[in-house]
Copies of this chain bind each other. A is one copy, B any other.
Amino acid sequence: MAARKGYGQFCPVAKAAEIFAERWTPLVLRELIVGSQRFNELRRGLPLMSSALLSQRLKELEYAGIVEHRSGARKNAEYHLTEAGQELRPIIEALGFWGARWMRSRLTNEDYDPSLLMWDIRRNLDVQRLPEGQRTVIEINLHGAEPAVRRWWLVVDAGEVDLCMKDPGYEVSLRLSAELRAMVDVWTGRQSMDAAMRAGKLTFEGSRTLASSFRKCLKLSPFARAAS
């Protein structure tokens, strides 16, 4: 009779770990913290997590009082953090800074997921700083990525950003080619974009001023400031 759940300890660390330190749970919380609310929105940020397990974890978090499941009239159910859940934010952040500082060297090939990188970039693009009143199309080529996830297009129009994996057909305003590793290193703050360019791992093609704007509006990962 394996008593799988529970550590049998009244220690608050144990009680917190029972819910927090389950597989995938910190990543589910991270997604909720950055603002994902719909089931499939959460899935996008957790591509290797099975939907069955995501569903199960969300129920566990709901039962633990960390997540609320507001089920709208139709299928517009949304997941939100409760106050208890919000208070986990500093812990997730601390874990991220610790990971950036100490686990960076433990990245494996499988960790360099181009889709997650592009999704992060899309989310953190400060579109206000790009030319207004016109469509801007940025093509991004990630060398070293699988063919199916190598070419991406960011279409910025009327303050909206669209991320495409297929050529949207518009004229490309700026073309960015980069080693996948180098692009992730830039995004995570391990390497400056200047350094990547000097090393020939990252190049722009197109308008110089647009390239400059793009560089300014590309915010880095929230954990980029961690010491390397």
Q: Which residues of A line the B interface, CB within 8 A?
A: 3, 6-27, 30, 46-49, 64-66, 84, 87-88, 90-92, 94-104, 106-108, 110-113, 116-117, 184, 188, 221, 223, 226
Chain B residues with Cβ below 8 Å from A110 are 3, 6, 8
Chain B residues in 8 Å Cβ range of A107: 10, 15
- Whether B15 lies near A99 (C-beta < 8 A) is yes
Given contacts A103-B16, A110-B3, contact A188 B10 (CB under 8 A): yes
Of B7, B15, B95, B223, which one neighbours A104 at CB under 8 angstroms?
A: B15
What is the copy number of this chain in the assembly?
Answer: 2
Task: State in angstroms the CA–CA spacing of A3 and B116 once bound together.
Answer: 18
Given the known interface contacts A13-B96, A27-B9, the answer about A19 and B103 at a Cβ–Cβ threshold of 8 Å is yes
Q: How far is the CA of A116 from the CA of B7 in the complex (A)?
A: 12
A91 lies within 8 A of B102 (CB): no
Kindly state the separation between the CA atoms of A6 and B103 in the bound complex, as whole angstroms: 12
| A–B Cβ pairs within 8 angstroms, 20 of them | A8-B111, A9-B116, A10-B107, A10-B113, A10-B184, A12-B95, A13-B30, A13-B99, A14-B30, A15-B99, A16-B26, A16-B102, A16-B103, A17-B99, A19-B103, A20-B95, A87-B101, A91-B94, A91-B98, A94-B94
* A83 vs chain B, min Cβ distance (A): 9
Q: Which residues of B contact A221 (CB under 8 A)?
A: 11-12
* A29: nearest chain-B partner, CB-CB: B13
Instruction: Please give 5 more A-B residue pairs, beta carbons under 8 A apart, in addition to A12-B96, A20-B21.
Output: A7-B49, A9-B111, A11-B99, A13-B30, A13-B95
Give the shortest distance, in Å, between A110 (CB) and chain B (any CB): 5
Asked if A64 and B106 make an inter-chain contact with CB atoms under 8 angstroms apart, the answer reads: yes
Give Cα A7 to B121, complex, Å: 19
Contacts A6-B110, A96-B11 known; A65 to B116 CB distance under 8 Å? no
Closest-CB distance, A47 to chain B (whole angstroms): 7
By CB atoms of chain B within 10 A, which of A11, A90, A110, A226 has the most? A11
